[in-house]
Amino acid sequence: MRTFDIPEFYRSPVIGKVKAIRKTADPRKRDLQPSLLDFGSVRLILPRHFGFCFGVENAIEIAYKAVSENEGKRLWLLSQMIHNPEVNADLESQGIGFLMDTEGRVLTPLDALKPEDVVIVPAFGTTLEIEAKLEAIGVDIQRYNTTCPFVEKVWKRAAQLGEKDYTVVIHGKPSHEETRATFSHSSAHARSMVIRDMAEAEVLAAFVRGERDWRDFEEVFPGRTSPGFEVPQDLQRFGVVNQTTMLASDTQAIADHLKAALMLRDGGSDERFANTRDTLCYATLDNQTATAAALDLARDSADFAVVVGGYNSSNTSHLVELCEEVVPTWFIRGADEFGADGHLGHFDMKSGTHCKTEDWWPSVLRGEVPTVLLTSGASCPDSAVDRVLQQILERCGGGRAVDDVLRLFAKEQATLGA
């Protein structure tokens, strides 16, 4: 796997070391069991995979290269580079402006751009409409295009489905940059529609099975279909692709549900449903599978979980959902959420609000020392997780020195890998 040149301050002395030790002991990533660090005063469970994925490191490398190669020029990001406040704030401090916010609202009109301006396309990619506007201005959009190859793979697959006369159903958040980009690219080659979740898949399945009146379709799915989309004929044959950070298990469940609806309607023939399993992002799958393995351990031993990541990060919110099913979970953007007075600032996904909780640390522990599952989203630097880890260690006090714990951990892993 390629390694990327990303600024040193995103790397970390503790989490980075744990990952390096695991990589050395198990280079083929066969062992998905979590890492267990015992500090004496607290035990930490770290999933085998978490943090920056291939696409994010690739995007960060290209963005900082754009900064260093274009002194004196105006630099723009189409929208947030990735959904992490720390990364975006640092890029802004380097003089990069944002053209749009995450919902696609204009911050700086494209008309204000000049051909010599440098525009960075984020890891999510962008729509064909925006690409065309930038090209009309004369901006080179390929030089610093950080669109993740795994997102492009989804676009290619959508085009192949279109060639075979399949409609593309995209499982994603309709307003998310990546879903808007995928919808745009897919619509250029195939009839396409977006569904948000299983609840919407169930409604779509009811149409497909003939249980709902097609005349209601437009009202139920307004603005979710490509131009000229017609029902029922455009839902005779289809395949499902996803916004790459959705829960892979959710996408699979949605695909299975829609396939079952088609088969019921067509009397058992499944040739109208295209198999698209191979478009699921490997990094998202690895992170979600590793989180599940860590939760197996946490189920019987952890007092709570801490998930670090941007509050608008799709993949981080899915990790929070997975953790919440098993242990009390705090979703925090970073170490700045630990208040000096002992409160914890965190994001409550149910209400969509930022909260402060005073009594967040459990009063009764499951074991002799606290056990915490610590993880982060694919857009979160390891250095941010390190700072959270330090806060937890300070809170617990005493215990073994970090270097001693890492030395012991390396020894254990070497024995396992031998």
Place of tokens 């009063």: 363
Burial readout 383-407 (b: 16 or more C-beta within 10 A, e: otherwise): bbbbbbbebbbeebeebbebeebbe
Written in H, E and C, the secondary structure of 18-43 is HHHHHHHHCCCCCCCCCEEEECCCCE
Beta-carbon contacts of residue 411 (< 8 Å; ≥ 6 apart)? none
Q: Which of residues 353-412 bind ligand SF4 (CB under 6 A)?
A: 378
Q: Binding marks (x or -) toward ligand SF4, 97..136, rule CB under 6 A?
A: --------------------------x-------------
178 is catalytic: yes
| Binding segment (CB under 6 A) for ligand SF4, from list 144-152, 270-278, 344-352, 381-389 | 144-152
| Among the listed residues 99, 95, 102, 101, the one whose alpha carbon sits nearest the alpha carbon of residue 111 | 99
Q: Is 371 helix (H, G, I), strand (E, B) or coil?
A: strand
> What is the closest distance, in whole angstroms, from the C-beta atom of residue 282 to ligand SF4 in the complex?
7
207 lines the binding site for ligand SF4 (CB under 6 A): no
Closest residue to ligand SF4 using C-beta atoms: 55
Q: Binding marks (x or -) toward ligand SF4, 286..305, rule CB under 6 A?
A: --------------------
> What is the closest distance, in whole angstroms, from the C-beta atom of residue 198 to ligand SF4 in the complex?
21
Beta-carbon contacts of residue 394 (< 8 Å; ≥ 6 apart)? none
Residue 137 near residue 110, CB atoms below 8 Å: yes
- Looking from the CA of 127 toward its CB, the CA atoms found within 13 Å total 15
CB atoms within 10 A of CB 265: 17
Give 244 or 329: the residue with its C-beta nearer to ligand SF4: 244
Beta-carbon contacts of residue 60 (< 8 Å; ≥ 6 apart)? 4, 6, 7, 10, 52, 81, 82, 87
283 lines the binding site for ligand SF4 (CB under 6 A): yes
> What is the closest distance, in whole angstroms, from the C-beta atom of residue 379 to ligand SF4 in the complex?
8
Give 178 or 337: the residue with its C-beta nearer to ligand SF4: 178
Helix 85-93, helix 54-69: angle, nearest 10: 10
Q: Which of residues 53-72 bind ligand SF4 (CB under 6 A)?
A: 53-56
Which of 120, 194, 195, 281 forms a contact with ligand SF4 (CB under 6 A)? Answer: 281
244 lines the binding site for ligand SF4 (CB under 6 A): yes
| Binding segment (CB under 6 A) for ligand SF4, from list 106-114, 148-156, 266-274, 354-362 | 148-156
| Binding segment (CB under 6 A) for ligand SF4, from list 9-17, 109-117, 145-153, 197-205 | 145-153
As beta bridge partners, residue 356 has: 345
Q: Which of residues 16-55 bind ligand SF4 (CB under 6 A)?
A: 53-55
**Torsion (CA) 285, 17, 371, 357 in degrees, nearest 10:** -80
144 lines the binding site for ligand SF4 (CB under 6 A): no
Identified catalytic residue from 178, 230, 321, 412: 178
Give 139 or 281: the residue with its C-beta nearer to ligand SF4: 281
> What is the closest distance, in whole angstroms, from the C-beta atom of residue 263 to ligand SF4 in the complex?
30
> What is the closest distance, in whole angstroms, from the C-beta atom of residue 203 to ligand SF4 in the complex?
27
What Rg do the C-alpha atoms of the chain give, in angstroms? 23
| Binding segment (CB under 6 A) for ligand SF4, from list 146-154, 266-274, 329-337, 388-396 | 146-154
| Among the listed residues 220, 224, 114, 211, the one whose alpha carbon sits nearest the alpha carbon of residue 169 | 224
The beta strands (E) that lie in 184-321 are given as 192-195, 238-242, 273-274, 304-308
> What is the closest distance, in whole angstroms, from the C-beta atom of residue 246 to ligand SF4 in the complex?
10
| CA distance readout (Å), 253 to 36, 211, 324 | 32, 20, 20
Size of the site for ligand SF4 (CB under 6 A): 14
Q: Whole-angstrom Cα distance, residue 9 to residue 281?
A: 27
Residue 49 near residue 309, CB atoms below 8 Å: no
Which of 10, 76, 98, 150 forms a contact with ligand SF4 (CB under 6 A)? Answer: 150
87 lines the binding site for ligand SF4 (CB under 6 A): no
> What is the closest distance, in whole angstroms, from the C-beta atom of residue 286 to ligand SF4 in the complex?
9
Peptide bond into 232 cis (omega under 30): yes
Q: Which residues have a catalytic role annotated? A: 178
Please give the residue ranges that form the binding site for ligand SF4 (CB under 6 A): 53-56, 123, 148, 150-151, 244-245, 281, 283-284, 378
